Each structure stands twice: as structure tokens, then as C-alpha cells.
Amino acid sequence: MPAKKTTNKTTDAKLDASLPRGINLLQNPAYNKGTAFTEEERNQLGLRGLLPPRVHTQAEQVIRVMENFRKKPTDLERYIYMIALQDRNETLFYRVVMDNLESMMPIIYTPTVGQACQLYGHIFRRPRGLYISLKDKGNILKVLENWPYRDVRVIVVTDGERILGLGDLGAFGMGIPVGKLSLYTACAGIHPAYCLPITIDVGTDNESLLKDPLYTGLVQKRIRGAAYDEFVDEFVEATQKLFPKAIVQLEDFANTNAFRLLKNLRDRVCSFDDDIQGTAGVALAGVMTALRVTGGQLKNQKLLFLGAGEAGIGIGDLTAFAMMKEGLSEAEARNRCWFVDSKGLVVKSRTDLSDHKLHYAHDHAQITDFQQAIEALKPTAIIGVSGRPRMFSQPIVEAMARINERPIIFALSNPTSKAECTAEEAYRWTKGRAIFASGSPFDPVNYEGKTFVPGQGNNAYIFPGVGLGAIACDAKLIVDEMFYAAAKSLADQVTDYDLSLGRIYPALTRMREVSAQIAVAVAEVGYKDKLARCKRPADLLAHVESLMYDPTYQSYI
């Protein structure tokens, strides 16, 4: 992986004989520096007269970008502006994002990326990533060969069926892989040349998109069953042949496919599902951190989930894994995790449960109301992963506060419009006693003279570091132990100052440092479990940091 100083042809233009010149150089986002080209570069690279005469530093360019960013009237306009910058000057884009992550992450990812995906064909400027559609069946390898880089290390792929909490957006879902990979670079320093966003287009069942003249995908219903599996199998085999060192991250697949795909891939391909395993890692880290406030051991907690899909079951599985580390049997650990789905409490007497819920079907009378489930089970934490807004009502939150001195309340559904409750509601309804986290950001809350800074349980705390760690040790597979190690590392990096603010995750400004430490923890698992394909360096942290891309301009002459 390219370090800050590199001789890799994709990143060091000085050694690249194919370096474009003149107007072609200015139109290539990987090489373009805009007004930062020096006088000598302008002379030797055919740029004289194509740029205004004054040479600016990158720092001055950042000032210009931020000035225009702040003038945009809406978050969607800010998203469009930043994507346009990424299309024009990739290095400057990442410099701006890294230096202003708290401002940028809600724009280039959740919640704004959700709105952008809903309108993706309407705001389309230039294509990013690869679209692989049913038209390419039998020819997927050749389509992948159109990608300009061969040393791909991270692929984020979606079929667009379950974009955030917004449902089936088909080919419009491309905004998610693009956004995720931007965070891989911004948060963990994985060079953009190593990142490949892919959308698999197998149709859409969204009638409004099928009627939209600006929809960019196939105008047909989704294929399912054996035909779908054959198409995905061809895709996976092609990626393994062309990009043998690439991690395949599954993103925003619907429940009907996500669990099956993960089960089929996890033991033969270096892969993971972020909605299942990444969400699990960040949520488990949040619970671990919360216990520093409430006291007690993880194995003695009782978690009640609202929602039993990918996120909920993923969190349950990793939490049970962590409880087993503390001495519980698998059955005992699973019995500490309870689920309420759209039809009520998940119990053994139900005959309508899908396979992924069966491990959490416990002996209990059926309860259809979430508040009644709280009263009956007396959980120490409620975790919202339902995709249904405002489901944590005032009576529900007040019930948690009555049962627990410091109730743990996680409203993790994305985007912000789908959150089960707001930060302000959680703090006000518990009289400031809640330990709160959400999937999308909320502003600080002032309650009775104290300011609370709510934690954002964003997967960006987990997946970039996991990916970096897998790259650092050249992992053959990504296993649950790695996500447990990532969660523990993340929780360990929360400071007492963070906790004093009510924040159970580190500040976003520390994201690269946090990701580096997570990468070390993940790589250590790779070496311990003999999943690494390279020798362990003497100083693993230094090795990880040497791999992290720094978006500063390099001289081309």
C-alpha cells in the first residue's frame, strides 16, 4: 500500500511515464492540483496560460473550498459541491475532508448521502465506480477489467435494495459505496486508488424509480432466487480472479440476501457485511463504554432490540460472542439478547420466524407491545435498529429510566429522520440520566444547565480500521474475533473527558488515530489465528501508520 512517500505508479506521477499533460492533466482528478501547480510545473507540463498566474498553497485552496462550502444553502447542495471537488481534485477533496471531518462526515455520508441517493440520477454529474448489470452476465470479468487500477484492496458493493433505512433505491444506491470508500480514505488513510465502489444492478421493485425518466438503472423488476445467486457468484469469482487481495464489503443488501451471502462468502473470501458486522462492532463498543459509567460486566447485561434484521441480529451475535469471552455458554449469552420485530417479541412459540431469528427465540409469553416487553424483561439497554422513526416514545424512555439508574438508549437507525428518538428527547425524558447514542449525528443538548454531547454510533468508527488492519496483515479472511477486537479497541480509546460530556465514542477529530489502533488490534488477530499472508513486522503500529495516505501534493518534476 502506498505510504506518504511512494513509488507506486498510481500515486507518484514523477515516475509515471503516462502522466497527462496540459488540459488533460487539469481534467484528471488523481493528478490535478489546480492553482497549486508551481511555476516550474506549469512550464514543463504545458500548463502555462491554462491557470490563473498566482500560485496558491494547498492550505489556501482549503480556505477557498470551505468558504464556498459554507455558502451553500442546503446540505444536498454541499454534497453536490464536495462530489464535484472529488471529481476535479481528489487530493484537495481528501485534505478538506480530513481537516474538517466533523463538518464533512454528515455531508459526504449519513444523513445527507441518503437524500443524495434518493435523487442520485437527478444530481448525476460524472460516473464514479463500476456498474455491473444483468446485461453483463457472462461478461463480468471483462467489465471489471475496465477499472483503471489493478491493485484494488477494498471493494464496497451494493445491490441497492436496502439503502440505509430508505428501502429499495436500485442503481441510485451507488452513493453508498462511493461514500463508504471516501470514509475508508478519510478515516483510515487507505489510498483512493485502492478503493473500488460497485453497484450490482439486478433491477428494482421501487415503482416510482421504474417510472422516473431520470432513473439510471435497469428498468425492470428485481431478479431473485437461483438467477440472482448465479449472477452474484459470477461477480465474486471475477473479483477474486482480478483483485485477489481485495476485501469485499457487502453493503445495504436486504435481509433476504444479506445473511445468506455472508454465510456463503465469509469462510472462502476476505469479506464482511458492514450492516451486520460493522454495526455490531460499533454498537458493542458503545455498550462496553457505557458500562464504565453504569458499572457491571457485559455478561450480566440484558439487551432488548427493536428490530430483528441485519443490524439487530449482527449486534446480538457479536454481543453474545463477547459475553462468551467473559465465561457464558453460547445459550446463556444468547439468552441475554431479546428482540422485538414488527410482530412482537421473538419467542419460541411463534411459527413465522425467519432462520436468522431462531437463535434468539426464547421461552416467554408472546408480547406484541415494546413497552410491555420492557416492563416484563427489565433490560439494561434498548437498541433501536428498526428503521422506524420515533418508536422510543416518552413512556418507553421513562420506563427505562424507572428500571435503570443510568438507562442505555441507542437509537441507531439511519438517516436522522429514521432515528427511534432524538438526543434531546432521551436526555429530557430521563432527566439527564440516559447514556445515549445514535446512528446519525445530533447536536449537543443543554439540559438544566449541563451540556451533553451525544455519541454517534457510526460504522465509520469500525469498518475503516478493520479494512486497514486486514490490509496491513494481508488477511485471508475477516472473522468475528476481528470485530470483537475492533470494538474493544474503540471502547478503550474513549477518554474520561469524552465520558464527562456524555459521549461514549471518541471525537471525530481523532478518527485516523482511532482507526490506526483498531487496525493494529485487527491485524494482531490475523497473526494470532494464522490468517495473515505476510510476516508480522517488529513494530505493527508503525507499519500500519506507514500505510496511511496523506493527501498532500507531490512534486511532478
* Active-site choice (31, 109, 215, 484): 109
CB 494 within 8 A of CB 289: yes
- Catalytic, 180? Answer yes
First to last CA, the chain: 23
Position 380: which residue type? T
* Dist CA 1 CA 547 (whole Å): 6
| Residue position matching grid coordinates 422485538 | 340
Write the CA distances from 290 to 200, 239, 437, 487, integer angstroms.
38, 40, 10, 13
Name the grid cell of 139. 461478461
CB 311 within 8 A of CB 276: yes
Write the CA distances from 161 to 308, 376, 443, integer angstroms.
17, 35, 30
Long-range contacts formed by 498-504: CB under 8 A, 24+ apart: 499/289, 499/292, 499/293, 501/451, 501/452, 501/453, 502/427, 502/435, 502/436, 502/452, 502/453, 502/454, 502/455, 503/453, 503/454, 503/455, 504/286, 504/289, 504/290, 504/293, 504/435, 504/437, 504/455
* Active-site choice (33, 120, 180, 215): 180
* Dist CA 211 CA 288 (whole Å): 47
Give the residue ranges of DSSP H helices in 109-203.
112-118, 140-144, 175-188
Rounded CA Rg of the chain: 24
Give the residue ranges of DSSP H helices in 278-351.
279-294, 310-325, 330-334
Instruction: Give the DSSP H/E element, type plus range, for residue 199.
Output: strand 195-201
Total residue count of the chain as it appears in this document = 557
Name the grid cell of 182. 471516501
CB 268 within 8 A of CB 233: no
HSE-CB at 467 with a 13 A cutoff on CA atoms is: 37
Burial 237-274 (b: 16+ CB within 10 A, else e): ebbeebbebbbbbbbbbbbebbbebbeebbeebbbbbb
Instruction: Please list the active-site residues.
Output: 109, 180
